[in-house]
Structure 1
Amino acid sequence: MTAMPMQAFRDQLTGLTDINQAAADAAIARDAVLTKPAGALGQLETLAVWLSGWQGQHPPRYAKPQVIIFAGNHGVCDQGVSAFPQEVTAQMVANFKSGGAAINQLALAFGASFTVEALDLDNPTADFTAGPAMTESETAAALSAGWNAVDETSDILVVGEMGIGNTTVAAALSAALFGGGGADWAGPGTGVSSDGVKRKAQVIDAGLKRHKDNLADPLEILRCLGGREIAAMAGAILAARQKHVPVLLDGFVASAAAAVLYKASGRALDHCVAAHVSAEPGHRRLLDALDKEPLLSLGMRLGEGSGAALALAIIKAAVVTHNGMASFADAGVSGEKPA
């Protein structure tokens, strides 16, 4: 695996690929003649157009969905922000690899390939209340791990995460990127008490104060407050953009990774759809900041890409209806009369 320097990621963010408008227009034209009233399939119609445009082809395809889980550990856990010990991260990675997690079942159900990337679990990031979470080289290595994990032949990508303490990290990133303090963004995560949420808020505020001079640059925010799995998700989402692979965003932590890219370039998430809004309180606020309306709202808060993997069913439905329905002419059905 080749590690890219940080400047290479900055260059990619200033040279983003664009939607293939010809493919999107072809999808719009086909949708207009299918045997249904205009707009009757709602978001399935707009998703088919979105897929065609970002896949760069018409008809859109659902043959090779990809799910990648990134795992990392966080030094800020030393501050008592999680209900679980850090060794659970490695234990869950083993569970992913043996096929026993929720995400394994969802990937299997919707025909997605599945991989898990464990990122230096024996070497947690530094406690961001005491100093930067990562060095520049560590940040670049994590971004590169995400970039290199994306298969450019995939039809659509789901990225997820595992990392004890990472809702604290996601909340800190969100506060640094969009304003507010720890109390505005901290939530229960894996199930900490109300006192635990207050503790998380205090820790976040301490991190924001420690790094107040580095909060103007989104990639520096990622380095100072982020984690390896979060940087890897950001790298994967950016790689998907450049490789013409549309992305389904998962929950709070994955959305925080995406938010780093968004703040670096307002166009960086045009190839992404929010799969769901989780039960973590900060997630809805973060999606609003990203101007993303979620497809699903099911009270999920598991992470590991589970909400986004579930939304693959909707993506598949958009593709099969768009590609498989007859046109009015083919079916011998009279079309809508002009208004």
Structure 2
Amino acid sequence: MPDQSSVPAATLTEIRDLLKRLPGPDLEAGSAAEVRQRELLKPPGALGRLEEIAVWLATWQGRAHPRIERPHVAVFAGSHGVASRGVSAYPPEVTQQMVGAFVNGLAAVNQLAAETDADLRVYEMALELPTGDITQGPAMGEEDTAHAMAYGMMAIEEGLDVVALGEMGIGNTTAAAALACGLFGGAAEDWVGPGTGLDAQGERRKVEAVSKALQANAGALSDPLTALAALGGRELAAIAGAVLACRIARVPVLLDGYACSVAAAVLHKADPRALDHCLVAHCSAEPGHARLLQLLDKRPLLDFAMRLGEGSGAALAVPLLKAACAVHNGMATFAEAGVSGRAQ
């Protein structure tokens, strides 16, 4: 785990410069994977999205025979000042307590990561120092935001086959709803949901908090990175940084639920191609997620009505990628099996 104090100084200007120089896909590897898919012992398209996943993995891993041997689950945790506004069914101290559960192997994501032989790392983002209350002003300054993004970038190691991203932070669906509304417009009601299980009165408080946050930070919304600083959180900034680092290293990414997808959407808003190396693992039960995925033009792999966060949906999708690699690499071609191909 990188030491936050050792993260080199970064600026949002430097982040913007990186976004202007994003590497593209390896089209040669992708084309070779497509050719192999046409030759495999099956009717064209018969394996549906498994075929698409295999080609997508080949394109971003840069090899015609993709593999998932080193899956990595990264969960970033942060504290939010807006949590004091009663926008969650749980108190703010649950963030730190849940990080302890992750570390001790007690949470859902621990079990899901273990089942798929994925390495799980939890990254604490200054949990003792909540971000500013977004209903009163910005969550973070630009320097703090750039530092959190740089920390997320440093969390991406060499040699990973896929990175599944997740988050933990009481109050972060409020921050995510405010950030999504700031990035894509609409009313607060369009983006707010029950989060950890709010009742109707709690949702009304949450809508009010998001509305106030947008008013308090109206001057920061013209740029996606300043919007992230004003309305997001350290863990959301770190996720955006991790997504950016994966793109630079051409590592495929699985995004988890609502908050994680909103964090990544900051990069999409800066460059619509910035999430081409990402798949959305599942559609969260949080209503704003489906709306966001339409705007991002992302079709989730799973829809299990999950809303847990903590990377659980992303970890759950890793076996699908493994299955796609298995059939892509292990199946015989028509010629190898001595089976007649499609009639002309």
Q: Which bracket does the TM-score occupy, shorter chain normalised? A: over 0.9
Question: Deviation of residue 2 (structure 1)?
Answer: 2.7
Match of 2:133 among 122, 127, 136: 127
Distance between the aligned counterparts of 1:47 and 1:91, measured in 2? 36
Tell me what 1:244 maps to: 250
Give SS of 1:141's match: helix
Tell me what 1:217 maps to: 223
For the 8 Å contact 1:152–1:245, the answer to whether it is kept is: no
Distance between the aligned counterparts of 2:263 and 2:84, measured in 1? 22
Give SS of 2:39's match: coil
Tell me what 1:267 maps to: 273
Tell me what 2:7 maps to: 2
Look up the equivalent residue of 2:279 and give its one-letter code.
V
1:28 maps to 2:51? no
Look up the equivalent residue of 1:94 and give its one-letter code.
G
Give SS of 1:121's match: coil
Question: Deviation of residue 5 (structure 1)?
Answer: 2.2
Deviations 1:187-214 (A, max 9, x none): 0000011111111011101011111111
For the 8 Å contact 1:278–1:301, the answer to whether it is kept is: yes
Question: Deviation of residue 146 (structure 1)?
Answer: 0.6
Question: Deviation of residue 83 (structure 1)?
Answer: 1.1
Give SS of 1:329's match: helix
State the number of aligned residues: 338
Match of 2:162 among 156, 161, 164: 156
1:327 maps to 2:310? no
1:313 maps to 2:319? yes
Tell me what 2:239 maps to: 233
For the 8 Å contact 1:52–1:58, the answer to whether it is kept is: yes
1:180 maps to 2:186? yes
Distance between the aligned counterparts of 2:236 and 2:7, measured in 1? 19
Distance between the aligned counterparts of 2:17 and 2:159, measured in 1? 23
Deviations 1:271-318 (A, max 9, x none): 011111010011100111111011110010000011111011110110
1:89 maps to 2:95? yes
Question: Deviation of residue 247 (structure 1)?
Answer: 0.5
For the 8 Å contact 1:152–1:244, the answer to whether it is kept is: no
For the 8 Å contact 2:84–2:92, the answer to whether it is kept is: no
1:280 maps to 2:283? no
Tell me what 2:171 maps to: 165
Q: Percent identity?
A: 54
For the 8 Å contact 1:146–1:236, the answer to whether it is kept is: yes
1:52 maps to 2:58? yes
Distance between the aligned counterparts of 2:140 and 2:218, measured in 1? 16
Question: Deviation of residue 331 (structure 1)?
Answer: 0.7
1:101 maps to 2:127? no
For the 8 Å contact 1:66–1:157, the answer to whether it is kept is: yes
Distance between the aligned counterparts of 2:116 and 2:17, measured in 1? 35
Distance between the aligned counterparts of 1:182 and 1:199, measured in 2? 11
Look up the equivalent residue of 1:72 and give its one-letter code.
G
Distance between the aligned counterparts of 2:87 and 2:248, measured in 1? 36
1:291 maps to 2:297? yes
Distance between the aligned counterparts of 2:156 and 2:93, measured in 1? 27
For the 8 Å contact 2:177–2:192, the answer to whether it is kept is: yes
- Runs (4 or more) in structure 1 with deviation over 3 Å come to none
Look up the equivalent residue of 1:316 and give its one-letter code.
K
Question: Deviation of residue 8 (structure 1)?
Answer: 1.7
Runs (5+) with no aligned partner, structure 2: 1-5
Look up the equivalent residue of 1:157 and give its one-letter code.
V
Look up the equivalent residue of 2:292 and give its one-letter code.
L
Pairwise CA RMSD: 0.8
1:114 maps to 2:116? no
For the 8 Å contact 1:152–1:240, the answer to whether it is kept is: no
* TM-score, normalization by structure 2: 0.97
Tell me what 2:3 maps to: none
* TM-score, normalization by structure 1: 0.98
Question: Deviation of residue 249 (structure 1)?
Answer: 1.1
Distance between the aligned counterparts of 1:114 and 1:82, measured in 2? 26
Deviations 1:209-253 (A, max 9, x none): 111111110000000000000000000011100011001111000
Tell me what 2:145 maps to: 139
Distance between the aligned counterparts of 1:301 and 1:265, measured in 2? 27
